[in-house]
Structure 1
Amino acid sequence: MSTLDNTSLQLPKENLEAEDFLPLLGTDYVELYVGNAKQSAHYYMSAWGFQPVAYAGLETGLKDRVSYVLQQGKIRIMLTSPLKPGGDINKHIDSHGDGVKTIALWVDDATKSYKETVARGAESYLVPKTLQDDSGKVVVSGIHTYGETVHVFVERKDYHGVFLPGFKDWSPHYQPKDVGLKYVDHMVGNVGWNEMNKWCEFYAKVMGFAQLVSFDDKDISTEYTALMSKVMSNGNGRIKFPINEPADGRKKSQIEEYIEFYNGAGVQHMALATDNIIETVGSLRDRGVEFLTVPPSYYEELLDRVGEIDEDLVPLRELGILVDRDEEGYLLQIFTKPILDRPTMFIEIIQRKGAKSFGKGNFKALFEAIEREQESRGTL
């Protein structure tokens, strides 16, 4: 199984405007608070091909929660559920349903990362803390961001265990084949009316990010709904956070629907990268993952719009995969329907063939597909 390299890296700068004073080496893990971690783990293994890695709970000395850690490529997710009534995890689930609590960021120095960000105005979530066991030590710290989402800085260069101190190896008999997912490409946050610039400024001032691209309601709109979005990135380009806010439209936008059902700002979706989107999406569909669909007419003028591509149009059309091109290449992408009962979080699958953009040419087709789903839910 591929794991994150614990060695320090000096990565080339991709976003030249970013200060990158932390710096960030990558996404360490994403933690979701869920109602039933054991069953959620089975879903991510069976449907998404994640592999079992680590476990913490009653058997490891935890009394208030249980966590399962899964991995595919460089993507690690931790699923955490409460073991007793009351407390912050229960409150989070009651308010938001299942959802992302922690976006953990891999750093060389968690103490420095904490001091730098708090000094620039971040609200403290976790003061620097050393976790230790027979496999070494990990230093963690954390800050608050939009809604109840937090960033935890993870310094693990002196650790050689399975995940973090306090976790044990989890290797059940059932270990389904992966589907070719490689790494977290970007993670999108939905915030409330007129809050996008506030949180973009937060990432610029507090974390040294810079804006890669912005989209206004002329770029992201249909006959009925619209939204605004800006993409913030760190210097080496490994961490990209698009931030969305609602814009005025004739009907309720997907961002408004999300905020209503999530009860505030939060992570809308994770974009997971693959090297072969046709194989990955085919495998996911066979395992029961449901994707948004676009009309067949989308593909009639696709090659006129994006130019020559390596892939055959037939499987792209059959699977509903979208294509877009920018100055540096093209990308292929597809979006699931919400993967939870509440119409909140979904997952994007993306394959980049040189493109560094986010599929602007697909926005109209995508949003119309989302509106069809909203209409079926009675929330448009």
Structure 2
Amino acid sequence: MKLSGIDHIELYVGDARQAAFYYCTAFGFQVHGQGGPETGLKGQRSILLGQGDIRMVLTSPLVADHPAAEFTRKHGDGVAVIALEVDDVETAYEELVRRGAASVSAPAKYAEGDATVATAEVSGFADVTHRLVEREGPRAEFLPGVFRMSEVDTGAGGELLNIDHFAVCVPTRTLSPTVSYYEDVFGFSQIFEEYIEVGEQGMYSKVVQSDSKLVTLTLIEPDTARQRGQIDDFVQWHGGAGVQHVAFTADGITDAVRALAGRGVRFASTPPTYYDTLAERVADLAVPVAELREVGVLVDRDHWGQLLQIFTESMHVRRTLFLEIIERRGALTFGSGNIKALYEAKNRELSGIA
């Protein structure tokens, strides 16, 4: 079984058209396709957005018994499906179920013209599922015969390139079992572990990654022996474990942040004092301190290079899901200093100080 990478993500949202307008206007996505009852998608309206190598489906329920209806009632808008590209859907599905994944939907095929797509779904964490996707023929089609594809301005540039990782908040005492599940069932490896203290708060973090290194989950659990913090808040407001943020890569993060901010994206603030000693903490900065300070980007490093990151504010009423913009200048993992700084930035947003 080979997991090649992320094929797409699907968000369940209250209003797919409103969400699509926001992501296109603010983040530079384009509508690549649409589907609904008229195309064979029963009880739902779905809009496919794209930018760089990112494919994101926004799905709203049209009937009360659609899975998106229960998801949005319980969690609000959020990531419901992380789709994984595989070389053989039937083999991967059978292997994952044999290893302990629960079957969500059996293998099915979609075909039109020269394009054929096979899919199946298995359990991931909490209410997030993994859709297995096998593609043959033209990749311009998403689900042949089910999604009507749109004309796309191929010359239009965008700031975002692909999905770097997902940050997942889990309730206390579920971090280790979740890591074991991805190791035992999906064959992921743990590549990073950290305990973070911020004032009187604390959290545990472990990162698991596929053999291809193209699917990465940063799993975060609150330390309930310490003061309550934002991870506890997420788990409560989201109604259990879920994707706290999706990290999109950018080539030239400072220019990307300026462009996104110019279109209305709000970013979590960074105290000016963060930059006072940055050059001492990170030698040979890839971007001048003055430029980093201007846009609020954080910098850290690992053994391989530098990592530049910034969070958006949450755009949802529950203040749960948000996005991260990241640029890797050689770095392969996650810098400990940035994790703490990003945690503090989110605390400031949620406390209303920022």
Instruction: Please state which band the TM-score falls in when normalised by the shorter chain.
Output: over 0.9
**For 1:119-134, what aligned pairs fall within 5 Å after superposition?**
119-134=98-113
| Whole-angstrom distance in 2 between the partners of 1:107 and 1:210 | 18
Quick check: 1:51–1:178 contact (8 Å CA) kept in 2?
A: no
Quick check: 1:95–1:263 contact (8 Å CA) kept in 2?
A: yes
When structure 1 is superposed on structure 2, of 226-235 and 240-249 the one drifting more is: 240-249
Does residue 168 in structure 1 map to residue 148 in structure 2? Answer: yes
Quick check: 2:30–2:152 contact (8 Å CA) kept in 1?
A: no
| Whole-angstrom distance in 2 between the partners of 1:365 and 1:184 | 21
Q: How far 1:346 moved relative to its partner?
A: 1.0
Does residue 184 in structure 1 map to residue 163 in structure 2? Answer: yes
Change (3 A) 1:60 1:87: closer
Q: How far 1:327 moved relative to its partner?
A: 1.2
Query: What does residue 260 of structure 2 align with?
Result: 284
Does residue 354 in structure 1 map to residue 352 in structure 2? Answer: no
Quick check: 2:52–2:158 contact (8 Å CA) kept in 1?
A: no
**SS in structure 2 at match of 1:261:** helix
**SS in structure 2 at match of 1:81:** strand
Does residue 252 in structure 1 map to residue 228 in structure 2? Answer: yes
**SS in structure 2 at match of 1:47:** helix
Paired residues in the alignment total 352
Quick check: 1:54–1:69 contact (8 Å CA) kept in 2?
A: yes
Query: What does residue 317 of structure 2 align with?
Result: 341
Does residue 68 in structure 1 map to residue 44 in structure 2? Answer: no
Query: What does residue 284 of structure 2 align with?
Result: 308
Match 2:342 to one of 336, 358, 366: 366
Query: What does residue 9 of structure 1 align with?
Result: none
Query: What does residue 96 of structure 2 align with?
Result: 117
Query: What does residue 144 of structure 1 align with?
Result: 123
Does residue 51 in structure 1 map to residue 27 in structure 2? Answer: no
Q: How far 1:58 moved relative to its partner?
A: 3.6
| Whole-angstrom distance in 1 between the partners of 2:209 and 2:113 | 36
- Residues 287-336 of structure 1: CA deviation (Å, up to 9, x unaligned): 11111111111001101100012312222101110000111111110011
Query: What does residue 66 of structure 2 align with?
Result: 87
| Whole-angstrom distance in 2 between the partners of 1:365 and 1:139 | 42
**SS in structure 2 at match of 1:317:** helix
Change (3 A) 1:99 1:223: same
Query: What does residue 16 of structure 1 align with?
Result: none
| Structure 2 residues without counterparts, runs of 5 or longer | none
| Whole-angstrom distance in 2 between the partners of 1:251 and 1:171 | 51
User: 2:245 corresponds to which letter in structure 1?
Assistant: H
Change (3 A) 1:302 1:155: same
- Residues 201-236 of structure 1: CA deviation (Å, up to 9, x unaligned): 0010001111001012xxx12113211110001112
**SS in structure 2 at match of 1:352:** strand
Q: CA RMSD in A?
A: 1.8
Change (3 A) 1:53 1:106: same
Change (3 A) 1:275 1:301: same
| Structure 1 residues without counterparts, runs of 5 or longer | 1-21
Does residue 267 in structure 1 map to residue 243 in structure 2? Answer: yes
Q: How far 1:254 moved relative to its partner?
A: 1.4
Quick check: 1:221–1:367 contact (8 Å CA) kept in 2?
A: no
**SS in structure 1 at match of 2:285:** coil
| Whole-angstrom distance in 1 between the partners of 2:268 and 2:172 | 26
- Residues 175-207 of structure 1: CA deviation (Å, up to 9, x unaligned): 995432111111121111110110100010001
Quick check: 1:277–1:350 contact (8 Å CA) kept in 2?
A: yes
RCO higher in structure (CA 8 A, sep ≥6) = 1
User: Please, what TM-score do these two structures have when normalized by structure 2?
Assistant: 0.95
Change (3 A) 1:153 1:46: same
| Whole-angstrom distance in 2 between the partners of 1:176 and 1:269 | 29
Match 2:191 to one of 187, 212, 233: 212
User: Please, what TM-score do these two structures have when normalized by structure 1?
Assistant: 0.89
